[in-house]
Amino acid sequence: MTHWATVIGTGAYLPEMIRTNHDLSEMVDTTDSWIFERTGIKSRHIAAADETAASMAEHASRQAIEMAAIDAQEIDLIIVATSTSERIYPSSACLLQQRLGIQKCVGFDIQAACSGAVYALSIADQYIKTGFAKTVLVVGSEICSRIVDWSDRSTCILFGDGAGAVLLSASDRPGILATHIHSDGGYEDLLYCPNPQVAAVAKQSEPGFIQMRGNEVFKVAVNTLGRIVDETLEASDLQQSDIDWLVPHQANMRIIAATAKKLGMDMDQVILTLEHQGNTSAASVLLAFNEGVRDGRIQRGQIVLIEAFGAGFTWGSVLLKY
């Protein structure tokens, strides 16, 4: 029997410390107006020294579990999307399972950079449809601040920390309608983050910080997200006007505006968290989705298009009925 993967809970966590554009202008040669005009960002949250991807994931997950009013023991699959796991292993999903005290469950991480949560939702959907899992916890949790070079003005202005969670349950009520995920490994040089500890010996001198050719990434992102919108609509028999909310990856306001325009959507149909969160990589779409649900904008029965683009390049979309 085929099941829908339906959203039963959402949650979020943002670290207490806030770093404003003004703070950054005291660290590197930049200004609040340059950052805001080019990106739409004014401030971002920065994790405390004792926080990890798993500890932030726990806060977000507990909120989602509370909203869903289920016992955590009902969760049979945990997928954590992250590129900033505390340990190479165990996975953040296993660390989260232990934090939530879940005895019987399967947990694994997925790494697809900023598209991680879209990939994780797509995987969760497949497992629910086949009957392998009934209740799936999907989390995006990132401590980008630890892989950012705080002396590089071209990248340090962009990123922030946080975690978002979604609980999905097998249901006969429509939920995830379609997912599309893609990757193209031909763009490594435009956006990457070395792992010096395990890099080929010759490359170990490269520091473990995000390296990005921002302007070139920008152009590919705008074109690719335009295509994913077309692909999603064509595959789902829906019109642009059927989509109630766009929940985009929060990397740059100009990229988001271009995607909304392609969909013929007003910016007030777009859930934006960028201004006060920056780019939280795999956490961003789940943080935005949670915000739209919790403040009452996203209503039951409405159609939501989630999309993301990131290093790899990776990209994809999730079309769902809330």
Helix 53-68, helix 284-294: angle, nearest 10: 30
Side chain identity at residue 149, one-letter code: D
How far from 191 is each of 29, 109, 227, CA to CA, in Å?
22, 21, 20
Q: Least separation, in Å, of the C-beta of 27 and ligand UT7?
A: 10
Pairing type for strands 303-310 and 245-248 reads: parallel
Which one, 58 or 307, has the nearer CB to ligand UT7? 307
Least distance (Å) from ligand UT7 to the CB of residue 142? 11
| CB closer to ligand UT7 out of 238 and 258 | 258
Nearer Cβ to ligand UT7 (39/141)? 39
Give the nearest distance from C-beta 270 to ligand UT7 in angstroms: 16
CA dist., res. 275 & res. 80, Å (int): 25
**272 contacts 250 by C-beta, under 8 angstroms:** yes
Closest to ligand UT7 by CB, 71 vs 216, is 216
Cβ proximity to ligand UT7: between 39 and 61 the closer is 39
- For 308-322, give one letter per residue: b (16+ CB within 10 A) or e: bbbbbbbbbbbbbbb
Q: In the complex, which residue's CB is closest to ligand UT7?
A: 214
Of 62 and 153, nearer to ligand UT7 (C-beta) is: 153
Q: Which residues are at the interface with ligand UT7 (CB under 6 A)?
A: 30, 34-35, 38-39, 114, 153-154, 157, 214-215, 217-218, 221, 251-252, 255, 279, 309-310
Among candidate residues 73, 70, 35, 255, the one with its CA nearest the CA of residue 154: 35
Minimum distance between the CB of residue 208 and ligand UT7, rounded to whole angstroms?
17
CA distance 1 to 231: 27
Catalytic residues: 114, 249, 279
CA angle 147, 188, 110 (to 5 degrees): 60
Pairing mode, strands 191-192 and 211-212:
antiparallel
User: Residue 110 Cβ, how far from ligand UT7 at the closest point, in Å?
Assistant: 16
Nearest approach, Cβ of 21 to ligand UT7 (angstroms)?
Answer: 9
Query: Strands, DSSP E only, in the chain?
Result: 4-13, 17-20, 43-46, 77-81, 106-110, 135-143, 161-171, 176-183, 191-192, 211-212, 245-248, 303-310, 314-321
State the burial class of residue 264 (Cβ atoms within 10 Å of its Cβ: 0-12, 13-18, 19+).
exposed
Angle between helices 214-236 and 253-262 (to 10 degrees): 30
Q: Who's near 189: CB < 8 A, 6+ residues apart? A: 213
